[in-house]
Structure 1
Amino acid sequence: MTENTRKPHHIDAPEVAAWWDERRRYLENLRKVPELRKRYWKEMAIYSLRRLLWSYGFFPVVIAFWLPFVLSSFNPVVMASDLIQLLQGFVGANPEQQATAVSNLVVGWLSIGSFFLVFDLVLTPFRSPYQYEADVYMKSWEQLNPKPSEQPPNSPA
């Protein structure tokens, strides 16, 4: 495409700058509110705890129990007999082999949990209460300050 055949991409920079300036100013004022700061840290702690429990609790447990259950053709008797043999072998092993088995189990648990933690943090990012409050405020601000192109033709602008 040549310079003349490109479609003009029109952005009203002053309107966008005013919107972002108002949002930044409002966020600065919000950060001074103690109740909102307390709510932010509470929600951050709940979010972090939920992500950690989900990633290191749920997924490794599901993989550790669901996969063997599937491999035993959903037959709990087969699964239990295989597990009993593994546990007897573990108890009968020397301490070095037991330590290696426990170490491998812990490394496997942490690697599965870490993989799902990164995956979970990407899919469900933290939603700050500051951002939520700013979004609500900016929607009302947009209604009170419409763009000149969106104003009715008979309104005094």
Structure 2
Amino acid sequence: MESLDRIDRNILALLQADGRLTGAEVGRRVGLSQPAASARIQRLERNGVITGYRAVVDPVALGLNIHATIRLRTTHAQLPHALTFASRTPEIASTLRVTGEDCLIFDVYCPQAERLEEVVDALARYGPVTTSLVLRVYPQKPLTEAASTTS
């Protein structure tokens, strides 16, 4: 993939903050015409830099009042089973495979403590688990900030 210039990085930062910006608005903010900005956005999409657009939903508005991370230490034999369980469990929003003592980290949203207990107990069939309640989520920084330090 070709390298990203400063304007590409600015476009990415804008769209990560608000994916609903129009090509005209993006162009205005980065100093390009609407057609030039739209062409850059399309190129970023075509090259797989921008992989999609989505709505960000407040879990509490859906009644999911408990947010936790669950770390699982398992064996290679149990790993596929744990991943299958995670893919079929709606409360598990995301799964990370990690290095270190733990193998997987799950991001979990539940309506009440009893359901979190059920998810924890079910995951414990695959190995030792450690559960942490999330007290607060801080805003995610645009990935372009991290990428600009490597360029």
- Taking structure 1 as the reference length, the TM-score comes to 0.20
**Structure index of larger Rg:** 1
Higher relative contact order (CA 8 A, sep 6+): 1
Higher helix share: 1
The structure carrying a bigger strand percent of its residues is 2
